[in-house]
Amino acid sequence: MRISKVLILDGYTDEPAGLGVPPYIDVYPRYIAGAVWSVDKSIRVDYVTVDEARKDIHKFIARANEYDLLVVIAGVVVPGKYLGGEPIRLEELKTWFRLIEKPFKVLVGPAARFGISSGEGGRVAALPKEVSESFDAIVKGDPELYVYRLLSEGESAASPYEVRRDYSLVDKFAVLGAKIVEQHPNHGYNLIAEIETFRGCPRNVVGGCSFCIEPAYGRPVQRSPEAIVREVEALYRYGVRAFRLGRQPDILIYGSPEIGDREWPRPNPEALRRLLHGIRSVAPELETLHIDNVNPGTIVHHKREAREALKVIIEYHTPGDVAAMGIESADPRVIEANNLGVYPDEALEAIRVVNELGAKRGWNGLPELLPGINFVLGLKGETKETYRLNLEFIERVYREGLLVRRINVRQVLILPGTRMWGYGDRWVREHRRLVQSFKRRVMQYSRLFLQRVVPRGTILRRLYIEYYEPSLGVTFARQTGSYPLVAELPCKIGDRGVVDVVVYAYGARSVRGLPLPLEPNKTPLKLIREAFGSKVAEEIARWRPFTSDQQLRMLGLDQYFSVERGYACTP
């Protein structure tokens, strides 16, 4: 097969250990591009997101027919609400690729490996015939290996089921493929690169959680710190300034020699230090360095080493970081039935430890490192009592005065190869009303926690404008980060830009804010009062109209207001 032109269509992915919805770029397109260029650097590789394709689908289809190989990345395992892009829809998978005839077409990612999610939990559905018959290959293994074999050895040698056993090839692909980020629409703006440190769950020695696919990878395999640093160096060279160490089930145990031998490996803080120091050395002016998953069980089983590992993370990362904890359930019976491994008192202790070490506020207005809490609903053995116990756990966390950055609730997606596949979806089907009620209560708590994390008057630094929604009269903006806090600004700001924001009100998952500096003569006094208090509002009212910034400096208000460069933010 002679291949000189390759097109990668990124339909976006969202998995327990990996995110690829903008502003994120996941490892899939980078590894695939690297696999191509490792065979022949002269091959042209183009990258397009599904949102770009949607703008003119007829033009995209015509363009795709000019290539020799089309690789489509798709699959959302943990569905969420996305501000930066919309993952490829089932209907698009069914229709678009029947119209593309010239290239060899390959489907990769969770959609190829597992099937299609409804977004509401339950069993994942097999790929519809209309989808599978539109592709020449459905890759259930690692896509970069398939593409590499396809180009280097031919179609007959490329197995769609091949899974890597080490990182020898991937470490090479990751560096070579870093250049593809230059074609991402968020490049040069708020692009975040997802970085893989290891794959597989150490709890596979006891079977792992009933719903999780990570144990299916077998014994965990880690990347060397040198290889990760080389990848970050390449990405930084091509303009990436935000990174998340998100592709692993527990960042605290990176570098532990006990991974693969013990259920709860002992953290290795010095290995983390080597990794993070290396990243900082090759990316000295990075804007964001965040983590993702932390197993609360690691913190309670290895208190001293886990605390040291968390301190190392806080030393090298950037503020606003989130340690997402898969608590999953606070019902001991569900924990036992699904081998979750962490009980409520242990989870609470882990949340306390992260608060103790990470609650200090950083330069960007957010605490250094806060816990996130994940719940999975619909697990084996779940009853009405489970929902009461889950709410009771959240209430305990709140009553203690602890900070939680986010509470994430999802219904279990039952994947082939997990024990839940054998248990079935009866708990998902039976408890749909309980799920909705629970989610409503969680939204109430989420708002309360937000008020605690960013009190009124908090100034958040360097938020990127996402877009303006005319029907709401709101501009959406957020920082780069693991779980960036969305700010709703009641005025129109340019298409792209970076602003500081003062918080004045709250939703369940977002805050209302005003861009800084404000134009003192036009901004409604009501908004000024809500953001800065009555004293500042009265001072502004008394001296209006301001004719220069010198007047504001004399009153000590120039930090928040400017006649010359202020935003006239009106609802």
| pLDDT digits 0-9 by tens, 325-360 | 999 999 999 999 999 999 999 999 999 999 999 999
Closest CA to 532 of 459, 477, 479, 476: 459
Q: Under CATH, to which class is 194-223+232-447 assigned?
A: alpha beta
Closest CA to 185 of 75, 393, 23, 346: 23
The predicted model gives 501-511 an average pLDDT of 94
> Which pLDDT score, from 0 to 100, does residue 74 have?
96
Compute CA distances 36 → 1, 42, 174, 177, whole Å.
13, 9, 11, 8
The predicted model gives 37-64 an average pLDDT of 98
Q: pLDDT (tens digit, 9 = 90+) per residue, 459-505? A: 999 999 999 999 999 999 999 999 999 999 999 998 899 999 999 99
> Which pLDDT score, from 0 to 100, does residue 253 have?
98
Domain map (residue ranges) of the chain: 5-157, 194-223+232-447, 459-554
- Mean pLDDT, all residues of the chain: 95
Residue 373 C-alpha from the chain's centroid: 14
> Which pLDDT score, from 0 to 100, does residue 218 have?
82
- pLDDT of 541 over the 80 cut: yes
Residue 435's pLDDT band, with cuts at 50, 70 and 90, is very high
> Which pLDDT score, from 0 to 100, does residue 539 have?
94
Contact 252, 269 (CB under 8 A): no
> Which pLDDT score, from 0 to 100, does residue 120 have?
66
The predicted model gives 262-269 an average pLDDT of 97
> Which pLDDT score, from 0 to 100, does residue 119 have?
65
The predicted model gives 227-245 an average pLDDT of 99
Compute CA distances 309 → 253, 266, 289, 323, 499, whole Å.
9, 10, 15, 12, 33
- pLDDT of 571 over the 70 cut: no
> Which pLDDT score, from 0 to 100, does residue 118 have?
65
Portion of the chain with pLDDT greater than 70, in percent: 99
> Which pLDDT score, from 0 to 100, does residue 234 have?
99
Instruction: Kindly state the tokens that stand for 237.
Output: 């060279």
Cβ neighbour number for residue 403 with a 10 Å cutoff: 19
Q: pLDDT (tens digit, 9 = 90+) per residue, 387-423? A: 999 999 999 999 999 999 999 999 988 888 888 888 8
Place of tokens 């074999």: 149
Q: pLDDT (tens digit, 9 = 90+) per residue, 313-334? A: 999 999 999 999 999 999 999 9
Q: pLDDT (tens digit, 9 = 90+) per residue, 112-153? A: 998 887 666 677 777 888 899 999 999 999 999 999 999 999
Closest CA to 228 of 249, 245, 211: 245
CA distance 340 to 206: 10
Contact 285, 241 (CB under 8 A): yes
Q: Does domain 5-157 have CATH number 2.160.20?
A: no
Around 29, how many Cα atoms within 13 Å sit in the side-chain half-sphere?
A: 34
